Amino acid sequence: RAVRAVDPGAGDAAGDAGTDPAAGLPGVWLGDAVAEAYAADVVLDGLLGIGGRGAPRGVAGLLAGLLTDLLDAEDAGAAGGGPRGAAEAGGGPLVVAVDLPSGVGVDDGALPDGPVLPAGLTMTFGAAKPGLLLPPASRRAGRVEVVDLGLALPERPSVARLAPADVAALWPVPGPEDHKYSRGVLGVVAGTPAYPGAAVLTVSAAALAGVGMVRYVGPSAVARSVLAVRPEVVAGDGRVQAWLLGPGVDPGHAKQARRLTAALHAALAEGLPAVLDAGALALAPRDLAPWCVLTPHAGELATLLGRLGEEVPRSAVEAEPLRWARRAHELTGATVLLKGSTTVVVGAGDAVYAQADAPGWLATAGSGDVLAGVLGALLAGRAADVLDDPPLAAALAAAAALV
């Protein structure tokens, strides 16, 4: 039924809530309205549209806040732990957002200073809005269904999300004339005696991703561990098409820093694609090319920005990942892959990708090393294409994140 929520502060809470003479809707006291909504099967969130800014205000804001508290409490106790948990557990209604959850940033995925109803389903019209793909707002949108209205859409979306078919189209496929060198040679500086596993994981991921050859440049003790697992790897310097630098390497260690710096200078001098991960991020200069890809998590990005003169706490990066990934791209010129439950990639030509393909199980030691290895293999395999088409680096980074 259609009712009008009334704030008890607006009248006599012990009396009748009245009827809106214009709309003809019976009034229901706020607490009763919340109880009715929570007992319903479905709640439609159409309080604010794509032109709205900030959280709902007034009685609508109070209603949204109280209902959000109930739904979030159910989510916290549900096995799923996400915005659909309450409905799936039978403890609350399914919230269906109309176009997008009320109050979220339609362009940047930011959350307002106020309540946002956790949708289990968002029905959006014409095209997926950027805020539905970008965290943290995307985590309040639930499953997103796009209703096609036949609109003439821009050729390049402001935010893209790759599907498996897109990855297949981007992946380098060898032909009958290819050999190990034409398929790409990746140089890897990773791992130390303290963290040999980083080298093993990185090199293994690159090899399994289909690169033609991996050259490992690192301590002899670590090289022995790498060769024990991947005997096809070549230990030592040599010609490469791309570099992968930093996993498991401490830039504060003088010898390790020298090895990283030498490889980074070689990559920059030869204009080669490179992945700068973990320890190599501390050495990233301002004047990188877009075929150099930085792969920080939120804490590493905050540290990198601080080194470049922008003091930003990790919490700010997590609250506005697109803003700060874009800022790092502006300051360095590099493509930036910001790791997280939704990986955000910003590259040349205003390319932005948001990949929400990773399950929570990947929040574990070593997953970043594997991602770096896959990305390094892609850059080596398509090095010539990336140099000719710099925005391609961002697409390859998004593809690696999906895989």
Q: What is the 3-state secondary structure (H, E, C) of 97-133?
A: EECCCCCCCCCCCCCCCCCCCCCCEEEEECCCCHHHH
Asked whether the predicted pLDDT for residue 3 surpasses 80, the reply is: no
Q: In this model, does residue 154 exceed pLDDT 90? A: no
Q: What pLDDT digit, counting tens, does each position of 74-127 carry?
A: 776 654 545 544 455 456 899 999 999 999 999 999 999 999 999 999 999 999
State how far the Cα of 214 lies from the Cα of 242, in Å rounded to an integer: 10
Is 231's pLDDT higher than 50?
yes
Residue-wise DSSP of 184-206: -EEEEE---SS-HHHHHHHHHHH
pLDDT at position 14, please? 44
What kind and span of H or E run contains 293? Answer: strand 292-294
Closest-CA residue to 386 (of 174, 210, 184) = 184
> Which residue ranges make up each domain of the chain?
30-147, 164-402
> Hey, which residues does 320 pair with through a beta bridge?
none
For tokens 């106790």, the residue is: 77
Q: Give the pairing of strands 343-347 and 351-355.
A: antiparallel
Residue 47: pLDDT band with limits 50, 70, 90: confident
Q: Which of 13-27, 139-153, 371-385: highest mean pLDDT?
A: 371-385
pTM for this one? 0.88
CATH architecture of 164-402: 3-Layer(aba) Sandwich (3.40)
Amino acid at 200: V
Residues in Cβ contact with 296 at an 8 Å cutoff, skipping those fewer than 6 apart: 281, 303, 304, 328, 336, 337, 338, 339
pLDDT band at 6 (very low <50, low <70, confident <90, very high): low
Topology of the domain comprising 30-147: Rossmann fold (3.40.50)
* Token pair of 338 as six digits: 């910001």
Q: Is 367 exposed, middle or buried (0-12, 13-18, 19+ CB in 10 A)?
A: middle
As a whole-number percent, the residues of the chain with pLDDT over 70 amount to 89
Residue whose C-alpha is closest to residue 354's, from 168, 159, 165: 159
Kindly state the average pLDDT of the residues 226-248.
97
Confidence category of residue 48, pLDDT binned at 50, 70, 90: confident
% of residues, the chain, pLDDT over 90? 73
How much is the pLDDT for 12? 47
pLDDT at 395 over 80: yes
In this predicted model, what pLDDT tens digit does every residue of 276-329 receive, in sequence order? 999 999 999 999 999 999 999 999 999 999 999 999 999 999 999 999 999 999
> What is the token pair recorded at 137?
């707002």
- Per the DSSP assignment, residues forming a β-bridge with 216 are 188, 235
DSSP 347: E
Measured CA distances, 336 to 14, 34, 203, 276, 291 (Å):
58, 43, 21, 10, 10
Q: Quick check: bond before 196 cis, omega within 30?
A: no
The arithmetic mean of pLDDT across residues 258-275, rounded, is 94
pLDDT confidence tier of residue 52, bands split at 50, 70 and 90: confident
CA distance 62 to 30: 8
**pLDDT tens string 324-377:** 999 999 999 999 999 999 999 999 999 999 999 878 888 899 999 999 999 999
Going by pLDDT thresholds of 50, 70 and 90, the confidence category of residue 4 is: low
Unique residue bearing structure tokens 């920080």: 296
The pLDDT value given to residue 85: 44
Mean pLDDT of 163-176: 95
The separation between the first and the last C-alpha atoms of the chain, rounded to the nearest angstrom, is 47
- pLDDT confidence band for 30 (50 / 70 / 90): confident
pLDDT, residue 17, reads: 47
